[in-house]
Amino acid sequence: MHMNKTVTLLIPCYNEEESLPLLYDTLVPIMDDARYDWELLFINDGSTDHTLSAIQALREKDPRISYIDLSRNFGKERAMLAGFDYAQGDCVVILDADLQDPPSLVPEMLRYWEEGYEDVYAKRRSRGKEGWLRKKLSLAYYSLLQKTTRVEILQNVGDFRLLDRKCIEALKQIRENERYTKGMFCWIGFKKKEILFDRGDRVVGKSSFNFASLFNLGIDGITSFTTAPLRMSTILGFIISLGAFLMMMFFLLKRLIFGDPVQGFSALIVVILFLGGIQLLSLGIIGEYIGRIFNETKNRPVYLVNTYQGREKN
Ligand code: UDP
Ligand code: MG
C-alpha cells in the first residue's frame, strides 16, 4: 500500500529494561497492520540497568530495529535530538518507552499525515495518576508561559507526536544545549493537527522526572522562550524608584514645612530589606540568562554517541 514510505519510531530510553519487551510486542502488530516500511530507533540515554542489552536482544531477532547508545545520560531532550539526527524515516513518531503514549494512536496519526498534516500531536484529555499539586502547578506554569511568550506553547501536549521529514530537518537545525523541545515544536510552525487521548499510567518502573527536574525544565522553558522576567525586573525597579522618589519628596517637605524629624527605624529596615530582596532577585534573573549565554557560547556538542547500529535494509 504505502510500502515506499518509511516511518521511524523514535524511543528515548532511560532505565527501561522492563518496558522494552512490552513496548515491542504492542508496537509490532500495529505497525505491521499500518503497512509502512518502518524502523524502530531506540536511544539508550546512558541507562544504568540492562536497557542496552535488552535493545540488542530485540535487534537480534528483528532487523528493523536500530539504536543509538549515548556516551552517558544526557536527558530526554537531548536524546530526542540524537534521534532526529539519525532517523531515516519520511516521518518520525516520538513515543515514550513506558507505554504511557498509547501506540494504538499511531495509525490515526499516520492517516492525518497522509492527508498532508506535518505535525500531528496528541493532546492529553486526562493526565493519568498524578498528584493534585503537580496538576495545579503545571496549569499555572503554562498560563504564565503562554502570557509571556510570542510563540504559542501548548498545554497538556507532550512529546508524543508524528513529525514530517520537513519538521525533523527544521528541528535538527536547533542545536541549543539547554533544550525545551516542547517549545521548539511550536516554534517551527508547519501544518499542525491535534488529536486527543487519555494518558495511561506507566506499565512498569517509575518516572525519572522528579519535582526538581521538572522545575529545572520549567526554568529552561521560560529562559529559552522569553525574556519577560528581565522586562519585569526593569518595570519593578522603575516602580520602586518612583515610589522612593515620591516618598523622599514627601519627607523633605514635611521636614521643611512642619519641622518634623524623620522617624521610624523599623520602617527603614523593612524598606532596605525589601529593596535588597528585589535586587537579589533581579540579579538572579539576569544570572539565569547569563548562565545560558555562557553555556551556549561554549558551543559543545549537544550529545555524544558511543555506538550507532543502523537498520538493516530488508
Ligand atoms: N528518558 C530519557 N532520558 C532521561 C529520562 C527519561 O530518555 O534522562 C525517557 C524515558 O525512558 C521515557 C521518557 O523519556 O521513555 C519519559 O520518561 P518518564 O516516563 O520517566 O517521564 P514521565 O512520563 O513521568 O514524564
Ligand atoms: Mg512516563
Q: In whole angstroms, what is the distance from residue 104 CA to residue 109 CA? A: 10
Give residue 16 CA to ligand 2 midpoint distance, Å: 10
Centroid of ligand 1 to alpha carbon of 56 (angstroms) = 20
Q: Which helix (H) or strand (E) holds 183?
A: helix 181-188
How many A from CA of 12 to the centre of ligand 2? 11
**What is the 3-class SS of 90-134, one letter each residue?**
CEEEECCCCCCCCHHHHHHHHHHHHCCCCEEEEEEEECCCCCHHH
- Nearest-ligand number for the alpha carbon of 46: 1
pTM greater than 0.85: no
Q: Is-contact 66 310, C-beta < 8 A?
A: yes
C-alpha separations of 196 from 109, 124, 125, 134 in Å: 11, 6, 6, 21
* Ligand 1 pocket, CB under 6 A: 12-14, 16, 45, 73, 75-76, 79, 96-98, 100, 202, 207-209
For ligand 1, the distance from its centroid to the CA atom of residue 18, given in whole angstroms, is 14
Q: Render pLDDT for 19-59 as a digit per residue (tens, 0 to 9).
A: 999 999 999 999 888 888 899 999 999 999 999 999 999 99
Residue 9 · residue 38 · CB < 8 Å: yes
Which ligand 1 atom sits nearest the alpha carbon of residue 100?
Answer: 23
CA 13 to ligand 1 centroid distance, Å: 7
Using CA atoms, how far apart are residues 116 and 91, in angstroms rounded to an integer? 12
Q: Which ligand is nearest to the CA of 47?
A: 1
Q: Considering every ligand atom shown, identify the ligand nearest to the alpha carbon of residue 97 and give its number.
A: 1
Q: Mean pLDDT per 10-residue run, the chain (314 residues)?
A: 81 92 91 88 94 92 92 94 94 92 91 93 77 80 79 82 95 90 89 87 73 82 82 83 82 81 72 81 85 88 93 66
Q: What is the pLDDT of residues 139-166, one digit of tens each?
A: 888 888 777 777 777 778 889 999 999 9
- Asked whether 121 and 192 are in contact (CB, 8 A), the reply is yes
Distance 103 CA to ligand 2 centre (A): 14
Mutational pocket test of ligand 1: of 94, 99, 159, 208, the residue with most ligand atoms within 8 Å of the beta carbon:
208
Which atom of ligand 1 sits closest to the CA of residue 43? 7
